[in-house]
């Protein structure tokens, strides 16, 4: 049975996040031959509509308003509720990001609908959609079915492969005019720490450091390796607690959950809280002086040695391999 699915395109610094394109691929699977409608919410977002279409959306609806220039749950909820009333979809898919985790449950509760979060796979069977999601810190998986009403879904980044971009693909981009008012909170200014490199939650390669890096300066070789590989730098809670790096880099049960193609753990012992955030990475390489470290139990490849000797050697070899100066 074909369905009509809506995808919220998530925008960061004027560009669509990659998870938006993964959500379109998930929606195409969930629609089972039906229509996929992309949605863009913001102040000047109409120009990004063609990107959603080129990645598989059949059409795009935009909601533009000055009060949507910055994300607020009130403003975005008003916009999405208007889109839902206008499009009348069978389901809505968000990225399992800070925005998606805030907005999806709010809308689902307001509409008394089902919500399945942190989905890694979507299958169709006899008209019902089967959603697979990890539980118990990734030790097991459960399958869920929403049997009635509107379905709200958040998908984990880097688990569903986006469709190949087709620049020849075209579709209708329409604008939904409405007032965004009665906001309980208004953002006057956003002050953020300067960020460099790849977004950690969407990185294909992550080089992470633990207490074994010993200091803030100890992250320098990890940053160099990540730069060569086009990846991001992450950290264990232990490294963050020791003030070696900012908590925005924390990976684990109380930090970010990541699933990169390659995860290089440097000086990380492998506490269960950290494993909960990275154990579903496709390939895990562990570097640790302690051959009994728990991280080796989940690693595909292990190197017993001093990270300050091993990481520069890896960096040099990758530099030669990739012909980077």
User: Does residue 236 have a known ligand-binding role?
Assistant: yes
Asked whether 279 and 250 are in contact (CB, 8 A), the reply is: no
User: Does residue 72 have a known ligand-binding role?
Assistant: no
d(CA 28, CA 281): 24
User: What's the alpha-carbon Rg for the chain, to the nearest Å?
Assistant: 21
- 138-167 in b/e burial notation, b at 16+ Cβ within 10 A? beeeeebebeeebbbbbbbbbbbebeeeee
User: Does residue 250 have a known ligand-binding role?
Assistant: yes
User: Does residue 78 have a known ligand-binding role?
Assistant: no
Asked whether 213 and 239 are in contact (CB, 8 A), the reply is: yes
User: Does residue 303 have a known ligand-binding role?
Assistant: no
User: Does residue 93 have a known ligand-binding role?
Assistant: no
User: Does residue 253 have a known ligand-binding role?
Assistant: yes
User: Does residue 32 have a known ligand-binding role?
Assistant: no
- Residue 115's DSSP bridge partners are 152
User: Does residue 92 have a known ligand-binding role?
Assistant: no
User: Does residue 237 have a known ligand-binding role?
Assistant: yes
User: Does residue 254 have a known ligand-binding role?
Assistant: yes
User: Does residue 252 have a known ligand-binding role?
Assistant: yes
Binding site: what residues are annotated?
211, 236-237, 250-254, 267-274, 288
Binding site for FAD: what residues are annotated?
211, 236-237, 250-254, 267-274, 288
């Amino acid at each position: 049975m074909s369905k009509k699915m809506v995808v919220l395109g998530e925008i960061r610094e004027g560009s669509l996040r990659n998870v938006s394109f993964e959500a379109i691929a998930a929606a195409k699977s969930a629609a089972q031959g039906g229509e996929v409608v992309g949605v863009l919410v913001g102040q000047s977002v109409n120009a990004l509509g063609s990107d959603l279409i080129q990645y598989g959306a059949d059409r795009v609806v935009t909601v533009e308003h000055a009060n949507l220039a910055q994300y607020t749950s009130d403003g975005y909820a008003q916009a999405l509720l208007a889109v839902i009333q206008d499009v009348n979809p069978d389901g809505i898919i968000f990225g399992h990001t800070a925005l998606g985790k805030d907005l999806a449950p709010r809308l689902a509760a307001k509409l008394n609908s089902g919500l399945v979060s942190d989905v890694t796979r979507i299958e169709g069977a006899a008209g019902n959609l089967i959603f697979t999601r990890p539980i118990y810190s990734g030790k097991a998986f459960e399958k869920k079915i929403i049997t009635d009403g509107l379905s709200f879904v958040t998908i984990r980044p880097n688990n569903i492969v986006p469709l190949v971009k087709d620049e020849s693909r075209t579709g209708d981009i329409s604008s939904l005019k409405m007032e965004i008012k009665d906001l309980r909170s208004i953002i006057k200014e956003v002050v953020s720490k300067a960020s460099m490199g790849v977004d950690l939650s969407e990185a294909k390669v992550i080089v992470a450091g633990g207490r074994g890096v010993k200091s803030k300066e100890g992250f320098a070789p990890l940053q160099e390796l990540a730069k060569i590989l086009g990846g991001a730098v992450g950290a264990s809670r232990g490294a963050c607690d020791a003030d070696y790096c900012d908590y925005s880099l924390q990976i684990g049960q109380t930090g970010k959950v990541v699933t990169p193609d390659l995860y290089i753990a440097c000086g990380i012992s492998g506490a269960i809280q950290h494993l909960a955030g990275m154990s579903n990475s496709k390939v895990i390489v562990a570097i640790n002086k302690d051959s009994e470290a728990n991280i080796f139990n989940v690693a595909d490849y292990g190197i017993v040695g001093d990270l300050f000797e091993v990481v520069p050697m890896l960096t040099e070899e990758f530099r030669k391999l990739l012909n980077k100066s």
